[in-house]
């Protein structure tokens, strides 16, 4: 159906009324909803796999690995750990509060949440975030991307089959419907997408002072650094896998590779071999190779590749009918060229050579640009890698590894600066969708007049002495 402004408003108000019944506050009840969500994911897996294939050309294996299985893992962690996460904290109030010495911190839901999800991982970045919202005790409106229409339809059917709309509902539509949502007074907004749209989301949220979590790709993309001492074959193998995955349409994907010039030619050779081994010499006719989401995305990819036609050493071909564009290596590329100064979100991979002895200058240049969502280092120098990971600004990443940090339980997934704010996955998602409320439990006996007027006079001098004793 086509969502109107009035329909969106009604959906939000119905959820607000439902939230005020306090039914979502009970932790046992939340766990039951999470179990329902997991059962729904399992039940609807065949339909989700078909939708992912239609929208993104994903195979059954890639669809499960990148979307379905990840969501089930996320829900499992929430089910098993929620009681511990939600347990109120007890604190000693301190002698300055005597005799009211007990303070509790309750983890309270925000209320009605809005989840705005993208096309590239339409299930993971909708239902995975929903698991965090449910864990926190919120209701949820999910606004999905109009580009992944088949996945949206499956999610609408699945959620309607699992939950009443006053608790959770999936809304489809374009930018106009998204604005209908943003014009409503939500209690929490979680947006995944581009930095440019995130600015608009924050502007709209600011009108109601609504807290926002943003998971973005980064304005100038994510870097992989390959030092001269790296295991080039291993690095090439992992980078090839990642660039092939979802045809490069991944927010934490490698946007460009900086390779020590001493080993650049050898690395490029290994990278070409790795891509061909994994996806074949004719990837655009390989049924396992995903497609770009839309004609506009395909045209942007093909146009950018054409600008660097003379430096393409692999790929550079595509099929506008199937929207598949081959993994494309551009080499060599200077660090100040346009192709490495914006997020590509496609299978183009520029390779930037640098002198290994000038690694500090390279990292300084990267640091001067907008912060990426990910950073990947390939080197045997553990000391340098550790120092770099502790001094650069980025969301997350890996040393001699790519992307798998997002699958580690108990750790946050997040960005910084133009790659986002807030964090989620596991307990971090629970925290993102709750706010701490501090409550001091007062005593009606043994109350001292320490805090009360008057303060002056000889018989009240003890008050200042006690205050200094307790507070210093």
Full DSSP string of 83-96 = HHHHSPEEEE--GG
What is the C-alpha to C-alpha distance for residues 157 and 74, in angstroms, rounded to an integer?
21
In 3D space, the residue among 381, 65, 380 whose CA is nearest the CA of residue 234 turns out to be: 380
| Token pair 């929620």 in the structure block, residue | 82
pLDDT confidence bin for 35, thresholds 50/70/90: very high
Average pLDDT of every residue of the chain: 95
Sheet holding 188-193, edge to edge: 168-171, 139-143, 112-116, 188-193, 212-216, 420-421
Would you tell me how many other CB atoms lie within 10 Å of the CB of residue 338? 11
What is the C-alpha to C-alpha distance for residues 84 and 107, in angstroms, rounded to an integer?
11
In 3D space, the residue among 377, 138, 114, 127 whose CA is nearest the CA of residue 260 turns out to be: 377
Q: Structural domains in the chain?
A: 5-217+422-435 (3.40.605.10), 222-369+372-410 (3.40.309.10)
Tens digit of each residue's pLDDT (9 = 90 or more) over 270-286: 999 999 999 999 999 99
Q: How confident is the model at residue 448, as a pLDDT?
A: 76
Q: What is the pTM of this model?
A: 0.95
Bridge partner residues of 312 (DSSP): 330
**For the CA atoms of the chain, what is the radius of gyration?**
26
Q: How confident is the model at residue 458, as a pLDDT?
A: 82
What is the C-alpha to C-alpha distance for residues 202 and 208, in angstroms, rounded to an integer?
10
Tens digit of each residue's pLDDT (9 = 90 or more) over 69-93: 999 999 999 999 999 999 999 999 8
What is the C-alpha to C-alpha distance for residues 365 and 359, in angstroms, rounded to an integer?
10
Q: Judge whether residue 465 has pLDDT over 90.
A: no
Q: Check if the beta carbon of residue 289 is closer than 8 Å to that of residue 323.
A: no
DSSP H helix total and E strand total for the chain: 16, 20
In 3D space, the residue among 402, 405, 407, 403 whose CA is nearest the CA of residue 230 turns out to be: 402
pLDDT confidence bin for 461, thresholds 50/70/90: confident
Tens digit of each residue's pLDDT (9 = 90 or more) over 396-451: 999 999 999 999 999 999 999 999 999 999 999 999 999 999 999 998 888 877 77
Q: Judge whether residue 1 has pLDDT over 70.
A: no
Mean pLDDT value across residues 368-397: 97
Mean pLDDT value across residues 112-119: 97
Q: Judge whether residue 205 has pLDDT over 90.
A: yes
Least confident of 106-110, 167-171, 209-213, 447-451: 447-451
What is the C-alpha to C-alpha distance for residues 242 and 253, in angstroms, rounded to an integer?
7
H helices of 369-426, where?
382-389
Catalytic residues: 215, 251
**Terminal C-alpha separation, the chain:** 64
Q: Judge whether residue 24 has pLDDT over 90.
A: yes
Q: How confident is the model at residue 107, as a pLDDT?
A: 98
Q: Judge whether residue 466 has pLDDT over 90.
A: no
Contacts of 408 (CB under 8 A, 6+ apart): none
């Amino acid at each position: 159906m086509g969502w109107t402004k009035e329909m969106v408003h009604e959906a939000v108000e119905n959820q607000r009324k439902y939230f005020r019944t306090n039914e979502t506050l009970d932790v046992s009840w939340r766990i039951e909803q999470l179990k329902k969500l997991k059962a729904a994911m399992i039940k609807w897996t065949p339909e989700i796999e078909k939708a992912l294939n239609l929208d993104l050309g994903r195979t059954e294996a890639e669809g499960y690995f990148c979307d379905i299985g990840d969501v089930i893992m996320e829900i499992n962690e929430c089910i098993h750990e929620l009681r511990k996460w939600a347990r109120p904290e007890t604190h000693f109030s301190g002698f300055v509060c005597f005799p009211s010495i007990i303070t509790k911190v309750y983890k309270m839901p925000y209320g009605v949440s809005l989840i705005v999800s993208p096309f590239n991982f339409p299930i993971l970045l909708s239902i995975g975030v929903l698991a965090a919202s449910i864990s926190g005790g919120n209701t949820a409106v999910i606004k999905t991307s109009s580009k992944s229409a088949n996945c949206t339809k499956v999610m609408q059917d699945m959620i309607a089959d699992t939950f009443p709309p006053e608790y959770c509902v999936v809304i489809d539509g374009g930018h106009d419907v998204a604005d209908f949502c943003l014009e409503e007074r939500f209690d929490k907004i979680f947006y995944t997408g581009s930095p440019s749209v995130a600015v608009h989301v924050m502007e709209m949220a600011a009108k109601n002072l609504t807290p926002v979590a943003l998971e973005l790709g980064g304005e100038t993309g994510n870097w992989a650094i390959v030092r001269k001492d790296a295991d080039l074959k291993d690095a090439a193998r992992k980078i090839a896998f990642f660039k092939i995955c979802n045809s490069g349409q991944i927010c934490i994907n490698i946007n460009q590779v900086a390779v020590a010039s001493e080993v650049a030619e050898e690395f490029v050779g290994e990278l070409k071999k790795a891509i061909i081994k994994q996806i074949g010499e004719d990837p655009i006719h390989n049924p396992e190779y995903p497609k770009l989401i839309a004609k506009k995305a395909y045209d942007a990819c093909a146009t950018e590749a054409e600008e660097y036609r003379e430096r393409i050493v692999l790929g550079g071909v595509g099929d506008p009918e199937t929207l598949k564009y081959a993994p494309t290596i551009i080499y060599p590329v200077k660090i100040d060229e346009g192709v490495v100064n914006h997020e590509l979100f496609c299978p183009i991979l520029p390779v930037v050579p640098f002198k290994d002895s000038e690694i500090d200058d390279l990292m300084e240049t990267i640091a001067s640009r907008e912060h990426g969502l990910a950073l990947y280092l390939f080197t045997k120098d553990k000391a340098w890698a550790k120092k770099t990971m502790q001094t650069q600004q980025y969301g997350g990443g890996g040393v001699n590894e790519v992307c798998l940090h997002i699958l580690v339980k108990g750790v946050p997934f997040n960005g910084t600066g133009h790659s986002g704010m807030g964090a989620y996955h596991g307990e971090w998602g629970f925290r993102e969708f709750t706010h701490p409320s501090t409550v001091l439990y007062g005593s009606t006996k043994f109350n001292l007049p320490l805090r009360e007027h008057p303060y002056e006079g000889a018989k009240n001098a003890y008050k200042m002495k006690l205050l200094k004793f307790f507070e210093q």
